[in-house]
Structure 1
Amino acid sequence: MKWGRLLQVFYIAGGLLVISILWFTTARPIVVLPRMRLSPGYGLQDASNSLVTSDQQRGLLTLYSFAYTRCGDDCRSMYAALQEIDAALADQPTRQPRLQFITITVDPARDTPEALAAFALPFDPKTVQWRWLTGPQERVNAVASGGFEVLVQPRQDGSLFFTPLLVLVDGAGVVRASFEGSQIDSQNILSQLALLYKEIERSQGANRLAYEAAHFFACYP
């Protein structure tokens, strides 16, 4: 009799667990951005020739982009998206950790620290810090092409063909979203950034288990 009751309790508990899992995966009460992969480590130079490392970005949210100072029309839509994101965040309460823009040049031979210092940014950011980074060609290639998987090819006219790409990295150095081509839309990026902020702000204490469950069951947008 005792074993019968134990089995009954076991089956009821198992059934409730299955129902809970089905409800969580279908209703998706919590939606999170995926933890895609670790972002590449790097040590590059900024416009003041100071060393900037990936480790220094821990604890911050970083939206990486890839361009070069002579980019022109090829980068216009990407710059417009960055400007719209900056303007939208300027109208919102400050949230922590703060977001920063980092652009890694894909033409480091010309875009030296001195060239970056003389370069006028396409727009004056209102609230988001924006830094450009450069370095030796081999190191930049390892980060941009090898780490972030940016395709870069020289054109006959001296310009560069490359894949417009924005990559959102969290404070732990994990890639949480990437935006390519038509996905580089400020509203799309802002909505996913809002999801990440929501997770950071709410996944504390007991809530952390619920957010980890959302990752486990791939409750992604």
Structure 2
Amino acid sequence: MSSQTRRYLFPMVLCAVLLALIAFIGYNRLHPDNGLRVVGTASKFALQDLNGQPFSSDSLDGTVQLMEFIFTSCPDICPATSYNMVLIQNKLKDQGLFGDKMKMIAVTFDPERDTPDVLRNYAAKMKMDMSGWVLLRGEETETANVAGQYGVTVQNLGNGQFVHNATSLILIDRKQRIRSVYKMGMDMDNDRIVRDIKALLKERV
């Protein structure tokens, strides 16, 4: 092989190696070893916390989040979901994994009835550890819009009752990417969700 041929061949080989490396990195970002592929990007939102202060989803950067959409007068699936999330909370607390890098988020569909005091009472009744929980509210149209951005459909039936799709418990990683969507209520697989949360906490940011 002539020196001129080698001179042209080397950049081509280097380019091919770089392209392969870029493709490998991209594939691994979308298909990590833990099997939790990236489902989508978590939409940004701005709502209000229990003190009526503005709350931006940007403040959750760097944390793993498990997010539910609820209304506290719900007779079945919402309290069952919150109850299971508290069981998950307790398992994570036992391992020192809750409250700093791992957050539980609850957004109410029903701000008219779910006042800050009602939400505080709900949190106390459910035994939510507020060092790691964020309860949010806003105008009904705002929260319905946020829910829609996360693929959750909501319909107000009147008289304080809402319907929404039951597969709407959302796991978000520290880069604000949706990594899994689970069934709510009594169909929740708490052991699996704990494993998934721990896997995301171990991922390199």
- 1:132 has 2:135 as partner: yes
- 1:123 has 2:126 as partner: yes
Q: In 2 relative to 1, CA 120–79 (structure 1 residues): closer, same or farther, beyond 3 Å?
A: closer
Given the alignment, which residue of 28, 34, 44 partners 1:41? 44
State the match for 2:87 in structure 1: 84
Runs of 4+ in 1 over 6 A off after TM superposition: none
1:45-91 deviation digits (Å, cap 9, x = unpaired): 11111111111111111111010121132323312320211111121
User: Cα distance, 1:128 vs. partner?
Assistant: 5.5
Aligned length, in residue pairs: 187
Q: Distance in 2 between matches of 1:97 and 1:185?
A: 23
Given the alignment, which residue of 140, 153, 171 partners 2:155? 153
Q: Distance in 1 between matches of 2:32 and 2:159?
A: 52
Q: In 2 relative to 1, CA 138–125 (structure 1 residues): closer, same or farther, beyond 3 Å?
A: closer
Q: Distance in 2 between matches of 1:151 and 1:57?
A: 23
User: Which stretch of structure 1 is more off in the superposition, 38-47 or 148-157?
Assistant: 148-157
State the match for 2:164 in structure 1: 162
The answer as to whether partners of 2:72 and 2:122 remain within 8 angstroms in 1 is yes
- 1:112 has 2:115 as partner: yes
- Which secondary structure does the structure 1 equivalent of 2:76 belong to? helix
| RMSD, aligned α-carbons | 3.4
1:177-220 deviation digits (Å, cap 9, x = unpaired): 111247622111111112212223xx7xxxxxxxxxxxxxxxxx
User: Cα distance, 1:122 vs. partner?
Assistant: 3.8
Q: Distance in 1 between matches of 2:158 and 2:58?
A: 37
Q: In 2 relative to 1, CA 113–97 (structure 1 residues): closer, same or farther, beyond 3 Å?
A: closer
**Paired residue type of 1:74:** I
Q: Distance in 2 between matches of 1:52 and 1:46?
A: 6
Q: Any unmatched runs of 5+ in structure 2?
A: 10-15
User: Cα distance, 1:175 vs. partner?
Assistant: 1.1
Q: In 2 relative to 1, CA 153–171 (structure 1 residues): closer, same or farther, beyond 3 Å?
A: same
TM-score of the aligned structures, taking structure 1 as reference length: 0.69
Q: In 2 relative to 1, CA 142–61 (structure 1 residues): closer, same or farther, beyond 3 Å?
A: same
Q: Distance in 2 between matches of 1:137 and 1:35?
A: 29
- 1:194 has 2:198 as partner: yes
Q: Any unmatched runs of 5+ in structure 1?
A: 8-13, 204-221
State the match for 1:219 in structure 2: none
Q: Percent identity?
A: 27
Q: Distance in 1 between matches of 2:158 and 2:35?
A: 43
**Paired residue type of 1:193:** I
1:120-157 deviation digits (Å, cap 9, x = unpaired): 54422358621211111221111012x11112223466
